[in-house]
Amino acid sequence: MSANATAGTSDIDHFGSRHIVGMRVDASSYENASERILTWAQRKESRYVCVASVNNVMEAHDDAGFKAIMNGADFVTSDGMPLVWGLRALGIPQATRVYGPDLTPALCAKASEQGISVGFYGGAPDVLQDLVAELRRRWPGLQIAYQWSPPWRPLTSDEDEQVIEDVNGSGAQILFVGLSTPKQERFMVAHRGQVQSVMVGVGAAFDFLAGRKKQAPEIMQKTGTEWLFRLVTEPRRLWRRYLYHNPRFAALFALELASHRISRPRLDRR
Protein backbone atom coordinates (compact mmCIF):
# COMPACT_ATOMS: atom_id res chain seq x y z
CA MET A 1 0.00 0.00 0.00
CA SER A 2 1.34 3.41 -0.90
CA ALA A 3 2.05 6.08 1.66
CA ASN A 4 -0.73 8.14 0.07
CA ALA A 5 -3.29 5.49 0.93
CA THR A 6 -3.37 6.11 4.67
CA ALA A 7 -6.95 6.06 5.92
CA GLY A 8 -8.44 8.96 7.80
CA THR A 9 -9.58 12.49 7.29
CA SER A 10 -6.90 14.57 9.00
CA ASP A 11 -6.41 16.88 6.00
CA ILE A 12 -10.08 17.24 5.05
CA ASP A 13 -12.18 17.17 8.20
CA HIS A 14 -13.07 20.78 8.90
CA PHE A 15 -16.76 19.92 8.49
CA GLY A 16 -16.42 17.20 11.11
CA SER A 17 -17.41 13.54 11.31
CA ARG A 18 -19.70 11.42 13.46
CA HIS A 19 -20.29 7.73 13.95
CA ILE A 20 -23.86 6.73 13.16
CA VAL A 21 -24.78 3.26 14.46
CA GLY A 22 -21.05 2.55 14.58
CA MET A 23 -20.14 3.75 11.06
CA ARG A 24 -18.21 6.95 10.41
CA VAL A 25 -19.91 9.55 8.21
CA ASP A 26 -18.11 12.73 7.14
CA ALA A 27 -20.18 15.90 6.95
CA SER A 28 -19.65 17.72 3.69
CA SER A 29 -21.15 19.56 0.72
CA TYR A 30 -20.77 19.10 -3.04
CA GLU A 31 -18.19 21.89 -3.16
CA ASN A 32 -16.20 20.50 -0.26
CA ALA A 33 -16.42 16.90 -1.50
CA SER A 34 -15.32 17.90 -5.00
CA GLU A 35 -12.40 19.89 -3.60
CA ARG A 36 -11.20 16.94 -1.53
CA ILE A 37 -11.44 14.42 -4.35
CA LEU A 38 -9.94 16.68 -7.02
CA THR A 39 -7.02 17.58 -4.75
CA TRP A 40 -6.23 13.90 -4.23
CA ALA A 41 -6.64 13.28 -7.97
CA GLN A 42 -4.22 16.08 -8.85
CA ARG A 43 -1.68 14.46 -6.53
CA LYS A 44 -2.37 11.08 -8.18
CA GLU A 45 -3.10 9.48 -4.83
CA SER A 46 -4.67 6.07 -4.41
CA ARG A 47 -7.72 6.55 -2.18
CA TYR A 48 -11.33 5.43 -1.92
CA VAL A 49 -14.50 7.37 -1.29
CA CYS A 50 -17.78 5.81 -0.16
CA VAL A 51 -21.09 7.47 -0.97
CA ALA A 52 -23.11 6.09 1.93
CA SER A 53 -26.78 5.51 2.62
CA VAL A 54 -28.68 3.74 5.39
CA ASN A 55 -27.94 0.52 3.52
CA ASN A 56 -24.20 1.02 4.10
CA VAL A 57 -24.77 1.71 7.78
CA MET A 58 -26.82 -1.43 8.29
CA GLU A 59 -24.49 -3.62 6.24
CA ALA A 60 -21.69 -2.32 8.47
CA HIS A 61 -23.77 -3.00 11.58
CA ASP A 62 -24.33 -6.60 10.48
CA ASP A 63 -20.79 -7.30 9.23
CA ALA A 64 -17.72 -6.27 11.23
CA GLY A 65 -15.49 -6.72 8.18
CA PHE A 66 -17.61 -4.35 6.14
CA LYS A 67 -17.68 -1.87 9.02
CA ALA A 68 -13.86 -1.86 8.93
CA ILE A 69 -13.99 -1.12 5.18
CA MET A 70 -16.36 1.80 5.68
CA ASN A 71 -14.52 3.23 8.68
CA GLY A 72 -11.20 2.86 6.86
CA ALA A 73 -12.35 4.87 3.84
CA ASP A 74 -10.64 8.15 3.07
CA PHE A 75 -14.00 9.90 2.85
CA VAL A 76 -17.61 8.80 3.52
CA THR A 77 -20.33 11.12 2.23
CA SER A 78 -23.91 11.33 3.47
CA ASP A 79 -25.75 10.14 0.36
CA GLY A 80 -29.07 9.57 2.12
CA MET A 81 -31.13 12.21 3.96
CA PRO A 82 -31.40 10.08 7.13
CA LEU A 83 -27.62 10.33 7.47
CA VAL A 84 -27.76 14.09 6.94
CA TRP A 85 -30.37 14.35 9.68
CA GLY A 86 -28.25 12.09 11.85
CA LEU A 87 -25.19 14.31 11.45
CA ARG A 88 -27.23 17.39 12.27
CA ALA A 89 -28.77 15.75 15.33
CA LEU A 90 -25.27 14.81 16.51
CA GLY A 91 -24.06 18.38 16.37
CA ILE A 92 -23.08 19.24 12.78
CA PRO A 93 -25.87 21.58 11.61
CA GLN A 94 -24.12 22.46 8.33
CA ALA A 95 -24.19 18.85 7.07
CA THR A 96 -25.83 18.46 3.65
CA ARG A 97 -26.58 15.62 1.29
CA VAL A 98 -23.83 14.51 -1.10
CA TYR A 99 -25.70 12.19 -3.47
CA GLY A 100 -23.85 9.93 -5.92
CA PRO A 101 -25.86 10.83 -9.06
CA ASP A 102 -25.23 14.54 -8.35
CA LEU A 103 -21.63 14.19 -7.13
CA THR A 104 -20.63 12.36 -10.33
CA PRO A 105 -21.53 15.21 -12.74
CA ALA A 106 -20.20 17.79 -10.26
CA LEU A 107 -16.83 16.05 -10.34
CA CYS A 108 -16.92 15.59 -14.11
CA ALA A 109 -17.60 19.29 -14.64
CA LYS A 110 -14.62 20.32 -12.51
CA ALA A 111 -12.41 17.56 -13.91
CA SER A 112 -13.15 18.86 -17.42
CA GLU A 113 -12.16 22.39 -16.37
CA GLN A 114 -8.96 21.24 -14.64
CA GLY A 115 -7.82 18.66 -17.19
CA ILE A 116 -8.20 15.74 -14.79
CA SER A 117 -8.86 12.42 -16.50
CA VAL A 118 -11.58 10.06 -15.31
CA GLY A 119 -12.53 6.42 -15.72
CA PHE A 120 -15.63 4.27 -15.19
CA TYR A 121 -15.74 0.74 -13.81
CA GLY A 122 -19.07 -1.08 -13.54
CA GLY A 123 -22.53 -1.12 -15.04
CA ALA A 124 -23.85 -3.17 -17.93
CA PRO A 125 -22.08 -2.60 -21.28
CA ASP A 126 -25.00 -0.70 -22.83
CA VAL A 127 -25.46 1.42 -19.68
CA LEU A 128 -21.78 2.31 -19.63
CA GLN A 129 -21.89 3.22 -23.31
CA ASP A 130 -24.87 5.53 -22.79
CA LEU A 131 -23.31 7.04 -19.67
CA VAL A 132 -20.07 7.92 -21.44
CA ALA A 133 -21.97 9.35 -24.43
CA GLU A 134 -24.08 11.55 -22.12
CA LEU A 135 -21.07 12.84 -20.19
CA ARG A 136 -19.19 13.62 -23.40
CA ARG A 137 -22.24 15.46 -24.69
CA ARG A 138 -22.39 17.58 -21.56
CA TRP A 139 -18.64 18.15 -21.26
CA PRO A 140 -16.91 17.69 -24.62
CA GLY A 141 -13.55 18.45 -23.00
CA LEU A 142 -13.86 15.72 -20.37
CA GLN A 143 -10.95 13.29 -20.61
CA ILE A 144 -12.47 9.81 -20.29
CA ALA A 145 -9.38 7.63 -20.14
CA TYR A 146 -10.89 4.30 -19.11
CA GLN A 147 -14.19 2.42 -19.14
CA TRP A 148 -14.99 -1.22 -18.51
CA SER A 149 -18.08 -3.24 -17.67
CA PRO A 150 -16.88 -6.20 -15.58
CA PRO A 151 -18.66 -9.58 -15.58
CA TRP A 152 -21.12 -10.29 -12.76
CA ARG A 153 -18.96 -13.18 -11.52
CA PRO A 154 -15.82 -12.58 -9.43
CA LEU A 155 -12.76 -11.71 -11.50
CA THR A 156 -9.97 -14.23 -11.87
CA SER A 157 -6.57 -13.17 -10.55
CA ASP A 158 -5.37 -12.62 -14.12
CA GLU A 159 -8.41 -10.46 -14.91
CA ASP A 160 -7.90 -8.45 -11.75
CA GLU A 161 -4.27 -7.82 -12.56
CA GLN A 162 -5.35 -6.70 -16.03
CA VAL A 163 -7.80 -4.21 -14.53
CA ILE A 164 -5.07 -2.71 -12.38
CA GLU A 165 -2.70 -2.52 -15.35
CA ASP A 166 -5.34 -1.00 -17.63
CA VAL A 167 -6.53 1.63 -15.16
CA ASN A 168 -3.00 2.68 -14.25
CA GLY A 169 -1.93 2.64 -17.89
CA SER A 170 -4.86 4.84 -18.86
CA GLY A 171 -3.78 7.59 -16.50
CA ALA A 172 -7.29 7.96 -15.05
CA GLN A 173 -7.01 10.11 -11.92
CA ILE A 174 -10.58 9.55 -10.73
CA LEU A 175 -12.18 6.13 -11.14
CA PHE A 176 -15.95 6.06 -10.69
CA VAL A 177 -17.02 2.63 -9.46
CA GLY A 178 -20.65 1.79 -10.23
CA LEU A 179 -21.33 -1.51 -8.49
CA SER A 180 -23.83 -2.33 -5.76
CA THR A 181 -23.08 -2.17 -2.03
CA PRO A 182 -21.13 -3.94 -0.56
CA LYS A 183 -19.47 -5.11 -3.79
CA GLN A 184 -18.13 -1.72 -4.81
CA GLU A 185 -16.69 -0.96 -1.38
CA ARG A 186 -14.94 -4.34 -1.28
CA PHE A 187 -13.52 -3.67 -4.75
CA MET A 188 -12.18 -0.27 -3.71
CA VAL A 189 -10.51 -1.35 -0.49
CA ALA A 190 -8.92 -4.31 -2.28
CA HIS A 191 -7.40 -1.96 -4.86
CA ARG A 192 -6.34 0.96 -2.69
CA GLY A 193 -2.59 1.25 -3.10
CA GLN A 194 -2.71 -0.71 -6.38
CA VAL A 195 -4.97 1.44 -8.55
CA GLN A 196 -3.38 4.88 -8.73
CA SER A 197 -6.68 6.75 -8.84
CA VAL A 198 -9.18 8.19 -6.40
CA MET A 199 -11.91 5.54 -6.49
CA VAL A 200 -15.41 6.90 -5.88
CA GLY A 201 -18.18 4.35 -5.29
CA VAL A 202 -21.36 5.87 -6.70
CA GLY A 203 -23.74 2.90 -6.80
CA ALA A 204 -26.68 3.33 -9.17
CA ALA A 205 -25.44 6.69 -10.50
CA PHE A 206 -24.42 5.07 -13.80
CA ASP A 207 -28.00 3.90 -14.44
CA PHE A 208 -29.54 7.24 -13.47
CA LEU A 209 -27.16 9.39 -15.51
CA ALA A 210 -27.42 7.07 -18.52
CA GLY A 211 -31.21 7.50 -18.39
CA ARG A 212 -31.84 3.81 -17.71
CA LYS A 213 -33.54 4.37 -14.36
CA LYS A 214 -35.75 7.21 -13.17
CA GLN A 215 -34.82 9.19 -10.10
CA ALA A 216 -37.33 9.99 -7.42
CA PRO A 217 -39.05 13.40 -7.61
CA GLU A 218 -37.06 16.12 -5.90
CA ILE A 219 -39.62 16.49 -3.11
CA MET A 220 -39.18 12.81 -2.21
CA GLN A 221 -35.41 13.20 -2.21
CA LYS A 222 -35.60 16.20 0.12
CA THR A 223 -38.09 14.58 2.52
CA GLY A 224 -36.21 11.30 2.81
CA THR A 225 -38.92 9.25 1.10
CA GLU A 226 -36.84 8.43 -1.98
CA TRP A 227 -36.58 4.87 -0.66
CA LEU A 228 -40.32 4.40 -1.26
CA PHE A 229 -40.00 5.44 -4.90
CA ARG A 230 -37.09 3.07 -5.45
CA LEU A 231 -38.87 0.23 -3.66
CA VAL A 232 -41.92 0.60 -5.90
CA THR A 233 -39.79 0.69 -9.06
CA GLU A 234 -37.46 -2.20 -8.06
CA PRO A 235 -39.27 -4.27 -5.39
CA ARG A 236 -37.55 -7.59 -5.99
CA ARG A 237 -34.05 -6.16 -5.81
CA LEU A 238 -34.53 -3.59 -3.04
CA TRP A 239 -37.15 -5.00 -0.65
CA ARG A 240 -34.57 -6.21 1.86
CA ARG A 241 -32.60 -2.97 1.77
CA TYR A 242 -35.62 -0.87 2.67
CA LEU A 243 -38.12 -3.07 4.49
CA TYR A 244 -35.53 -4.84 6.64
CA HIS A 245 -32.76 -2.27 7.03
CA ASN A 246 -34.76 0.97 7.39
CA PRO A 247 -36.86 0.07 10.47
CA ARG A 248 -33.82 -1.35 12.27
CA PHE A 249 -31.80 1.76 11.45
CA ALA A 250 -34.54 4.02 12.82
CA ALA A 251 -34.69 2.06 16.08
CA LEU A 252 -30.91 1.80 16.52
CA PHE A 253 -30.29 5.46 15.77
CA ALA A 254 -33.11 6.56 18.08
CA LEU A 255 -31.44 4.65 20.93
CA GLU A 256 -28.04 6.07 20.00
CA LEU A 257 -29.37 9.63 19.88
CA ALA A 258 -31.15 9.23 23.23
CA SER A 259 -27.93 7.96 24.78
CA HIS A 260 -26.00 10.87 23.26
CA ARG A 261 -28.46 13.42 24.67
CA ILE A 262 -28.43 11.83 28.10
CA SER A 263 -24.64 11.72 28.31
CA ARG A 264 -24.02 15.17 26.85
CA PRO A 265 -25.35 17.17 29.85
CA ARG A 266 -23.07 15.13 32.11
CA LEU A 267 -20.10 16.04 29.95
CA ASP A 268 -21.15 19.71 29.90
CA ARG A 269 -21.23 19.80 33.72
CA ARG A 270 -17.63 18.67 34.00
What is the residue extent of each domain of the chain? 3-269
Give pLDDT, residue 10: 44
pLDDT at 267: 46
Helices (H), 19-156: 30-42, 54-62, 64-71, 81-89, 100-114, 125-138
- Identify the segments of the chain with pLDDT beneath 70: 1-14, 263-270
Say what the pLDDT of residue 115 is.
Answer: 97
In this prediction the pTM is 0.89
Residues in the chain: 270
d(CA 259, CA 137): 50
Residues 6+ apart with CB under 8 A from 186: 66, 69
